[in-house]
Amino acid sequence: MAFEPIRALTSRTVVMQEENIDTDQIIPARFLTTTSRKGLGKSVFYDWRYDENGAPKNSSILNGVNLDTHKILVAGANFGCGSSREHAPWALFDFGFRAVISSDIADIFKSNALKNGLLPVEVDDKTHRELLGAPGATVIVDLESQTVRIGDDWQATFQIEPFARRCLLDGVDPLGHLIKQMDAIESFERTCT
């Protein structure tokens, strides 16, 4: 397990309104020629954060954000679509984010994020609009009760795949879980080959 178990996270949000934020935006392909999973945070949203001379763009919300206090990214619908590159959640995690909230998060991204300590949280449209409209809001994401709380008066639930939830809460290691099934795997192999 490369990360600490997560129970609840209280943090302020960074809001990116855009829909369909794809994995090429999160981490452009030219940064994929790495053989490590570390150090990708500096390239996250690179083309949104830097101009052609490599100077930080003032227009980018991610430049100057305090990651100690803002660990939750709120994004438009269909976040993380596109590639299966696990570099996308690695980069977001390495940058400092611990949760992504959207109304709908792409399947492979979601599965990859869950394996890397980045919580993908899909909320209903109303809650999503509320969050998109309140950049910097303090939000509590509680994995145990599967709720998102915004301030004192807004609460919503979210779904998360139960096994991934256990992995995150209890530090269950999915590879270890698979290795424990080795007897079943071996007998399956005997019947089909």
Partner 1 sequence: MNAKSLFDKLWERHVVVEETSDSPAVLFIDLHLVHEVTSPQAFAVLDERGLKVRRPDLTKATLDHSTPTLPADKNGELPYATPEAKAQVETLIANCARHDVELFGLGDPRRGIVHVIGPELGLTQPGKTVVCGDSHTSTHGAFGALAFGIGTTEVGHVLATQCVLQRKPKSMRVIFNGALPTGVTAKDMALAVIAEIGADGGQGFAVEFAGPAVEALSMEGRMTLCNMSIEAGARFGMVAPDDATFAWLEGRDRAPEGNDFVAALEAWRTLPTEEGAAFDKEVAIDTATLSPMITYGVSPDAAAPVDALAPSAATPAAQRAADYMQFAENHPFTDNKVNRVFIGSCTNSRLSDLRLAADILRGRKVKDGLIALIVPGSEAIRRAAEDEGLDKVFLDAGAEWREPGCSMCIAMNGDAGAPGDLVVSTSNRNFIGRQGKDVRTVLASPATAAASAIAGHIADPRPYLEANDGV
Q: Is 42 in the site for partner 1 (CB under 8 A)?
A: no
Which of 73, 70, 65 is CA-nearest to residue 89?
A: 73
Interface residue with partner 1 among 1, 9, 12, 28 (CB under 8 A) is 28
Rounded distance between C-alpha atoms, residue 17 and residue 132, angstroms: 6
- The CB-of-173 to partner 1 minimum distance in angstroms stands at 10
Size of the chain, expressed as the number of residues it contains: 193
In contact, 133 and 101? CB cutoff 8 Å: no
Q: Is 39 in the site for partner 1 (CB under 8 A)?
A: no
Rounded distance between C-alpha atoms, residue 167 and residue 1, angstroms: 9
For residue 145, give the 3-state DSSP assignment.
coil
Q: Is 55 in the site for partner 1 (CB under 8 A)?
A: no
Q: 28 vs 154, which CB is nearer to partner 1? A: 28
Q: Is 35 in the site for partner 1 (CB under 8 A)?
A: yes
Rounded distance between C-alpha atoms, residue 112 and residue 153, angstroms: 32
Which residues contact partner 1 by CB under 8 A? Answer: 17-20, 22, 24-25, 28-30, 32-37, 47, 52, 76-78, 81-86, 104, 106-108, 111-112, 115-116, 161-163, 166, 174-175, 177-179, 181-182, 184-185, 188-189, 192
